[in-house]
Homo-oligomer: A and B are copies of this chain.
């Protein structure tokens, strides 16, 4: 079921790079339309509002990740703790390649959008929260398997997974403040030192 035109996807593609490299508020619909070669009326045929576009952009980025780096990193064939290393590596190389092309460290869209809009739009916030929850699950699965393996001493896998996700986002934030993806390389591996013990019964 291929759509008759690719108008909608051209809009989303134009919006993705712009939201990622600047911010949600700083990119106007007019600019997106011009870049996609689309009239404004056409835009509002496909999207009810700017927020709706943002939701679509988030979905596409999530798909890119799930079908790209993340899928490779969380390959069940890999030893569970190596998957985490792999993910950090993937994030590092991705940010590095963006900087080489774009001249800037753009960071994580989900983090960027979260800090920008989550006090102003609960629908966007809920969407971003769902993305983070899914990411946390990936971490948790890896940790659970590592514990089952015996390669990792038992701990609170849910909380540790959340801590690891937080750490990754924080490292990307700091790297963006330095416009330098190398920080990911230096700080990233320490993610595996994070531990939250099980609450005693």
Using known A-B contacts A25-B23, A193-B194, determine if residue A118 contacts B166 with beta carbons closer than 8 Å: no
Residues 69-94 of A at the B interface (beta carbon under 8 Å) = none
User: In chain A between 95 and 122, which residues have their CB closer than 8 angstroms to a CB of chain B?
Assistant: 104-107, 111-112, 114-120
Known: A23-B25, A166-B171, A196-B190. A104 touches B132 (CB 8 A): no
**Bound-state Cα–Cα, A193 to B160, Å:** 11
Interface residues of A, dominant DSSP: helix
Q: A114-B177, A193-B193 given. 5 additional CB < 8 A pairs? A: A106-B119, A112-B115, A163-B167, A167-B194, A170-B173
Q: How far is the CA of A105 from the CA of B193 in the complex (A)?
A: 28
Collect the chain B residues with CB atoms within 8 Å of residue A26's CB.
25, 120
CB neighbours of A173 from chain B (8 A) = 111, 114-115, 166, 169-170, 173
A143 sits at the interface (CB 8 A):
no
A193 to B164, CA, bound (A): 12
Q: Contacts of A119 on B, CB cut-off 8 Å?
A: 21-22, 104-106, 176
What's the nearest-Cβ distance from chain B to residue A100, in Å?
15
Contact A118 B176 (CB under 8 A): yes
CB pair B176 A120 closer than 8 Å: no
- Write the A182-201 contact mask toward B (1 if CB under 8 angstroms, else 0): 01001100100111100000
Which B residues are in CB contact (< 8 Å) with A176? Answer: 114-115, 118-119
In the bound complex, do residue A190 and residue B194 qualify as a contact, i.e. CB atoms below 8 Å apart?
Answer: yes
